[in-house]
Homo-oligomer: A and B are copies of this chain.
Amino acid sequence: MQPPAGMSDAAAAALGFEITSRDAASRARTGRLSTPHGTIETPAFIFCGTKGAMKGLTTERMHAARADIILANTYHLMIQPGADRVAALGGLHRMMRWDGPMLTDSGGFQIFSMGHGGVADEIKGRMNQARDKTLISITEEGATFRSYRGGERLFLSPEVSIDIQRKLGADLIVQFDECTPFNVERDYTARSMALSHRWGDRSIAEYQRGEGLSAQGLPQALYGIVQGGVYDDLRLESAQYTADRPFFGTAIGGSLGGSKEQMYEVVGYAMPHVAPDRPVHLLGIGGFVDIFAGVRLGIDTFDCVHPTRVARHGWALKKGARGERVNLRNARFRDETGPIDDTCGCATCTHYAAGYLSHLVKADELLGLMLLAEHNVFTMTRLMAEIREAIGTGTLDAAEQAWVVADDA
């Protein structure tokens, strides 16, 4: 992308994306994504430090688990502690004591998913759930909603979102968008997409007005978002919109359909039309099988809360396990003196017996979820390292067979 007016060449040079190898049989590719806080190898998994903290891991343990990039949510942080307070604490990196790359989202996803009630579940194709509806209004200008903490009215627009993300200071930031629900008509989806595009242009303008620099003075890279629901022509149009604008990267957002198959289909509508030389992020997807599918479609980065979320429920992600994970509450772990996964090199598997972890989980000991969270983070970084290796050597099918057990196996 063109650096914004005012961003020095040196600053612009701190941001970059280089494709280092390509799979012969798919759009899969490896790359290097450079930020002011370091370079990561792609495909990569971005871990969710939702409110500016990983659930159950210090950043020291994140390093130990080979994590290299973390995201935080604008929506949660603007509600508490507030962007100005994060800035006063030196920005996200210093506040969290994380020296690697970070991403923040725009806040749009949470406003609309929490606001409509259950849209997050719809987007991921789960059952609708009753939730408090906090969204008050969407206008051309932006979205007004209530804080889930104090109940006060809050407002988010492209300008406000970019300003907040500047104060938070992540390396990768995202345009403000309306996250279109799953079960709406094509007409609503088209109008919502057009609004997101206008908000994208305003996000770019605000980004350039700030010279592309964070409140801490470091260059930030802006991602556009592809919307368009489940409609192939809208996804194409939205992908072309992002490609035509000077975004650094592309994020695939919004409803990805009601099933895994539809998700792959919807992502597949967009991918041939996104800017081919920019990094592509797929929002909110983290299963092994979905990551292999996304990688084959050309996705470079993924994020999902599930590595730490499932840890809190006593699950360990496991290479080659049916369902991609095992439940430490299962009686078969009670007397297990070996690790959860004897092919895993994480600190948890190196030092602790599965029988001990089983006890900790059943006793609701915090240490259990801490140790499982680290194992799960490591397992995701291990998955991504093996995927990168497999792309480079043309062995993606074999890697997928090692990680994913077919449902009918």
A12 to B360: give the CA distance in the assembly, Å.
34
Binary interface profile of A, 50-72, with partner B (CB < 8 Å = 1, else 0)?
01111111100000000000000
CB of B81 within 8 A of CB of A334, answer yes
> Which residues from chain B contact A96 at a C-beta distance below 8 Å?
356
- Residue A353 at the B interface, CB < 8 A? yes
Name the B residues within 8 Å of A89 (CB-CB). Answer: 337, 353, 355-356
Task: Assess whether A80 is interfacial by the CB under 8 Å rule.
Answer: yes
Q: Which residues of B contact A88 (CB under 8 A)?
A: 335, 337, 355
Q: Are B97 and A55 in contact (CB under 8 A)?
A: no
User: Are the C-beta atoms of B356 and A80 separated by less than 8 Å?
Assistant: no
The interface residues of chain B lying within 8 Å CB-to-CB of A57 are 367
Does A154 count as interface, using CB distance less than 8 angstroms? no
User: Which residues between 238 and 289 of chain A lie within 8 Å of chain B, taking CB atoms?
Assistant: none
In the bound complex, residues from chain B placing their C-beta under 8 Å from that of A359 are: 51-52, 80-81, 85
Assess whether B352 is in contact with A54, with CB atoms less than 8 Å apart: no
A153 within 8 A of B: no
Whether B85 and A355, one on each chain, are in contact in the complex, defined by CB atoms closer than 8 angstroms, is yes
**Contact in complex: A365, B51 (CB < 8 Å):** yes
Tell me whether A200 is interfacial, beta carbon within 8 Å.
no
Confirm or deny: A95 has a beta carbon within 8 angstroms of a beta carbon on chain B.
yes
Q: How far is the CB of A349 from chain B (nearest CB, A)?
A: 12
A358's nearest neighbour on chain B, judged by CB, is B81
- Give per-residue flags for A324-347: 1 if the beta carbon is below 8 A from chain B beta carbons, else 0: 000000000011010000000000
Q: A95-B353, A96-B356 are known contacts. Are A365 and B53 too (CB-CB below 8 A)?
A: yes
Q: Determine which of B55, B90, B363 lies in contact with A367 in the assembled complex, contact meaning CB atoms within 8 Å.
A: B55
A343-386: which residues lie under 8 A (CB-CB) from chain B?
A: 351-353, 355-356, 358-360, 362-363, 365-371
Contacts of A335 in B (CB 8 A): 85, 88
Q: Is the Cβ of A363 less than 8 Å from the Cβ of B95?
A: no
Q: Are B81 and A370 closer than 8 Å at their CB atoms?
A: no
Within the complex, what minimum Cβ distance (angstroms) separates A50 from chain B? 9
Whether A367 touches B58, Cβ cut-off 8 Å, given contacts A337-B88, A337-B89, A359-B52, is: yes
Closest 10 CB pairs of A and B: A53-B367, A81-B359, A53-B365, A51-B363, A97-B351, A95-B356, A56-B366, A89-B353, A89-B355, A55-B366
